[in-house]
Structure 1
Amino acid sequence: MPQLNPNPWFFIMLTSWFIFSFILQPKLLTFTSMNPPSNKTPTTSNTTPWTWPWT
């Protein structure tokens, strides 16, 4: 059963995790967010309830 042989697939898995962890991840983390979170407190607006004519 060749699918149980980890010889080629283990190397491919290690290589892909190495590329992601040490090459792609630092490059992706250097990007700045276009919409950074703000420190403002959310404001709640006071709304008046709708007066239904049939109640």
Structure 2
Amino acid sequence: MPQLNPNPWLFIMIVSWLTFSLIIQPKLLSFLPTNAPSEKTSAPTKTSPWLWPWT
């Protein structure tokens, strides 16, 4: 079964992960978000129970 042969797919996978981890990921993480998250206090919402017609 050729699917079980790790050559060359194992090497390709390792090289692609190393490329992502060492080159692409630091470049992506260096960008600053345009809208920084802010602390917002959420107002509690008042809920009313449903009026079921069969109760």
TM-score (norm 1): 0.68
User: Match of 1:5?
Assistant: 5
User: Match of 1:25?
Assistant: 25
Consecutive unaligned residues of structure 2, counting only runs of 5 or more, are 45-55
CA RMSD of aligned residues (A): 1.9
Counterpart CA distance in 1 for 2:20 and 2:37 is: 27
TM-score (norm 2): 0.68
Deviation per CA, 1:2-48: give whole Å up to 9, x if none. Answer: 1110010100110010000000000000001011012354456xxxx
Consecutive unaligned residues of structure 1, counting only runs of 5 or more, are 45-55
Question: Identity percentage over the alignment?
Answer: 64
Aligned pair count reads: 46
Moved over 4 A (4+): none
